[in-house]
Structure 1
Amino acid sequence: MTAAPELVTAVRSAKQYLTYVASGPFRYAVAEALALPESYFTALRDDMLVKRNLLAAGLEEAGFQVFRPSGTYFVTTDIRPLGETDGFAFRRALPERAGVVAVPNAVFCDHREEGAPFVRFAFCKRTGVLEEAVRRLKGVGGA
């Protein structure tokens, strides 16, 4: 989109909230999912807990302060124990440093400085991908 800066900002803000909203076609999929047996959801929950714990433990071992989630598939971390304070700069350098990506939490904050030292990692991945990420992240914190 090309527009005046204030219009671009407004569109980007609206898009951020629309990206994660279930659109009409997905509502039919949700209705179908509600008909699945309880065992499906139990297995999904158990799988996600294993993956969360794998990633969280690896991040802790790499030197991050980790906040283990209870209801999302993102692990939020504090990068200050690694000697870092800027989540945007850290996230930009991380692919080259470790071949892993993160999202700076400041993008979700009204006051970006409050979210500056935090980044999050997704654990809704295959176990092998998470194991490789954990291996790569070990060098980031000097561990």
Structure 2
Amino acid sequence: MYEIIRALENDDIEVFYQPQVKLRNRKLVCVEALCRLQHPSLGLISPDKFIDKSEETDLIFHLTLNVIDKASTDWVAWYNQGIDITLSIYISPYVLKFSEFTDLFLTKVAELNITKNKIFLEVTESIIVDNYEVELEALSRLAIKGVTHGNTK
């Protein structure tokens, strides 16, 4: 837990991107934002080593906002260079239990003037949440505002 807190405080969460390309014309259509924790002595740490620990606390909320901030800022830079692609961001169902998540996400998208259909939120299914009603309400609010989302395993 300490290392996750340290990484957030020191801005040591790195975002990498996996491209999605249309095979027919080899055109880049989407990138998936993938986070890594940059440790001062261990180097890059993959999410399978820290996401589950962050889901045990509110750290998953802060980690997700950090990734959204970095990834959406990168998307704007690419768009300004003429690269018009969709940005896919994985989020834990635990993040959706925070009532402020939807508003913070929509505010960030509006501040950066990102077309909402250019961001796809992929809700991970690796865990079972306690309250599906809260998750569904958050996803419904995002969908009403034009944000697409889906589930992934």
TM-score (structure 2 length as normaliser): 0.24
User: What TM-score does the superposition give when structure 1 sets the normalisation length?
Assistant: 0.26
Bigger fraction of residues in helix = 1
> Which is greater in Rg?
1
Taking CA–CA contacts closer than 8 Å with sequence separation of 6 or more, which of the two structures ends up with the larger relative contact order?
A: 1
